[in-house]
């Protein structure tokens, strides 16, 4: 069978640039496809804010020009090969020279419209003819639109299929109608309810959802949720219209990078056979490093997260004082809304031996938290997939989550099935339901060590690698390219 060419078109990807979980997916998933059947490559912008040592890995290929509405813009093309995967980079200092990948929405829409058009321009010169372009989120959602509008008429692209993955429906690329012709270079015929218009505005994600051959999301439950008013972010009716072409595939994590047996960031490596002793040593060392009271027997809960309402911190705030009245330590790493940061600082002042708060992000400390803690708290209001609970499972740290999106798909509740469970979860978004699950986990930890230890082993045996996800994507690709 002839090998199929797949192009990931994405706004960020590890190891080059990251602001969120999208980069983990785009930079990791391509390595897990069957290389005998699929040639998977990645294309993204060449951001000036990439680290210098990463820029030095890029090799210049060629330059050309592309039309964007009335503009004729330079397009430089660079290439890098990382562990057998080819990454292409679109270079234009006007669009990609800021100190962050994203900024003001009007400017972002123009630069990603340019990015999408530039991809069609450079691929023939790269001698890589994609059978399928896998687009990710609104930043590349114009690719299916431009393909149907213009490029499908060219022999090079006439058989090209498109798949659009929604990583978070909340972000849609919305702006006024004045950009249709002036910025996007499209006819006003596209500004209709069935195409790129939504509630009187241009909506790039909606355009991609309309024109893409297939649509995916990052978990099966999220694929169901976004068809409802509660989670549909104003597009639920339109998503429901395309439900026959919609499917969910839960994300995975890199098992080589997140591996308690080899992780150089943690204090003590451990395996399934040594997890009990290993977690105790990591806990004591982290307590010492963070200035907490050292006690190997205290139930320790970790949080690594953006501190926002979406992540459930309004619920956490409602139960914090009550939690601290019990024999629990809480270790928090994250940043976000000021009032949530201050909430933890205030709590730290009242309970200095029980609370640690580190504002910001520290990769090494995050690994130490996953390895040292007994429980991991993630009561999200909504969570398309979530990666933190997958990492926690890998390190034998028991997730306490809300049953939503990928959290529901990956965490089997102890209350639902004790013998198959790998965590604790609750359905109703309220503080009472949250604290009941925290108490249930605490009680099991203190009163039934044998059952707790078995729960830890089941968590570590949970398969959250990219292997399963890649096989499901391969099946979809093959069906689309028959």
Q: Pick left, alpha or beta for residue 77 (phi over 0 → left; psi -120 to 50 → alpha; otherwise beta).
A: beta
CB atoms under 10 Å from CB of 308, counted, come to 16
With contact defined as beta carbons under 8 Å apart, do 299 and 329 qualify? yes
What single-letter DSSP state applies at residue 58? -
Beta-sheet strands, E only, within 167-278: 174-175, 197-198, 201-203, 214-217, 246-248
Q: Is domain 4-252+467-480 annotated with CATH 3.40.50.720?
A: no
- pTM equals 0.93
Residue 446 to residue 271: CA distance in whole angstroms: 23
For the CA atoms of 235, 236, 240, 244, the dihedral, rounded to the nearest 10 degrees, stands at 70
Residue 415: per-residue pLDDT:
85
Residue 279 to residue 237: CA distance in whole angstroms: 47
The reply to whether domains 4-252+467-480 and 275-463 share a CATH topology is yes
Domain ranges within the chain, ordered by starting residue: 4-252+467-480, 275-463
Residue 127: per-residue pLDDT:
85
Residue 420: per-residue pLDDT:
92
Q: Pick left, alpha or beta for residue 233 (phi over 0 → left; psi -120 to 50 → alpha; otherwise beta).
A: left
Residue 304 to residue 78: CA distance in whole angstroms: 35
pLDDT in tens, the chain (482 residues): 689 999 999 999 999 999 888 999 999 999 999 999 999 999 999 999 999 999 999 999 999 999 999 999 999 999 999 999 999 999 999 999 999 999 999 999 999 999 999 999 999 999 899 999 999 999 999 999 999 999 999 999 999 999 999 999 999 999 999 999 999 999 999 999 889 999 999 999 999 999 999 999 999 999 999 999 999 999 999 999 999 999 999 999 999 999 999 999 999 999 999 999 999 999 999 999 999 999 999 999 999 999 999 999 999 999 999 998 899 999 999 999 999 999 999 999 999 999 999 999 899 999 999 999 999 999 999 999 999 999 999 999 999 999 999 999 999 999 888 889 999 999 999 999 999 999 999 999 999 999 999 999 999 999 999 999 999 999 999 999 98
Could you tell me which CATH class the domain 275-463 is placed in?
alpha beta
């Amino acid at each position: 069978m002839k090998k199929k060419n797949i192009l990931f078109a994405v706004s960020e990807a590890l190891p080059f640039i990251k602001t969120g979980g999208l980069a983990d997916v785009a930079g990791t998933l391509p390595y897990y496809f069957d290389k005998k059947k699929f040639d998977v490559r990645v294309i993204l912008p060449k951001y000036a804010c990439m680290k210098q040592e990463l820029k030095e890995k890029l090799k210049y290929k060629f330059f050309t020009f592309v039309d964007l509405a009335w503009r004729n813009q330079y397009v430089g093309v660079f290439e890098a090969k990382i562990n057998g995967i080819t990454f292409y980079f679109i270079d234009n200092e006007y669009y990609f020279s800021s100190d962050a990948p994203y900024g003001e929405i009007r400017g972002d829409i123009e630069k990603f419209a340019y990015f999408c058009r530039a991809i069609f321009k450079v691929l023939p010169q790269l001698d890589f003819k994609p059978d399928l372009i896998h687009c990710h989120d609104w930043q590349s959602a114009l690719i299916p639109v431009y393909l149907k509008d213009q490029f499908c008429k060219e022999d090079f692209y006439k058989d090209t299929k498109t798949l659009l993955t929604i990583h978070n429906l909340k972000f849609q690329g919305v702006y006024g109608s004045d950009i249709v012709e002036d910025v996007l270079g499209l006819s006003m015929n596209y500004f209709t309810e069935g195409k790129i218009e939504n509630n009187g505005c241009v909506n790039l994600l909606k355009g991609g959802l309309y024109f893409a051959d297939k649509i995916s999301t990052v978990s099966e439950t999220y694929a169901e949720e976004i068809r409802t008013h509660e989670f549909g972010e104003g597009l639920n009716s339109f998503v429901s219209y395309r439900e026959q072409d919609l499917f969910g595939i839960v994300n995975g994590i890199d098992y080589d990078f997140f591996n308690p047996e080899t992780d150089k960031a943690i204090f003590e490596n451990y395996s399934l056979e040594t997890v009990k002793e290993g977690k105790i040593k990591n806990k004591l060392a982290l307590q010492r490093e963070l200035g907490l009271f050292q006690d190997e027997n205290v139930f320790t809960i970790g949080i690594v997260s953006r501190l926002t309402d979406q992540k459930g911190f309004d619920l956490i705030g409602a139960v914090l004082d009550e939690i601290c009245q019990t024999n629990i330590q809480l270790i928090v790493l994250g940043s976000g809304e000021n009032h949530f940061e201050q909430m933890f600082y205030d709590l730290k002042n009242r309970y200095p031996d029980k609370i640690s708060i580190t504002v910001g992000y520290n990769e090494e400390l995050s690994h130490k938290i996953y390895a040292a803690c007994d429980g991991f708290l993630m009561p999200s209001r909504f969570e398309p997939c979530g990666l933190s609970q997958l990492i926690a499972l890998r390190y034998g740290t028991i997730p306490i989550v809300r049953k939503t999106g990928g959290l529901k798909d990956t965490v089997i509740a102890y209350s639902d099935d004790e013998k198959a469970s790998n965590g604790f979860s609750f359905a109703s978004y309220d503080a009472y339901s949250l604290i009941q699950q925290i108490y249930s986990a605490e009680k099991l930890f203190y009163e039934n060590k044998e059952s707790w230890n078995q729960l830890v082993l089941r968590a570590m045996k949970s398969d959250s690698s990219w292997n399963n996800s890649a096989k499901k994507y391969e099946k979809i690709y093959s069906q689309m390219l028959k």
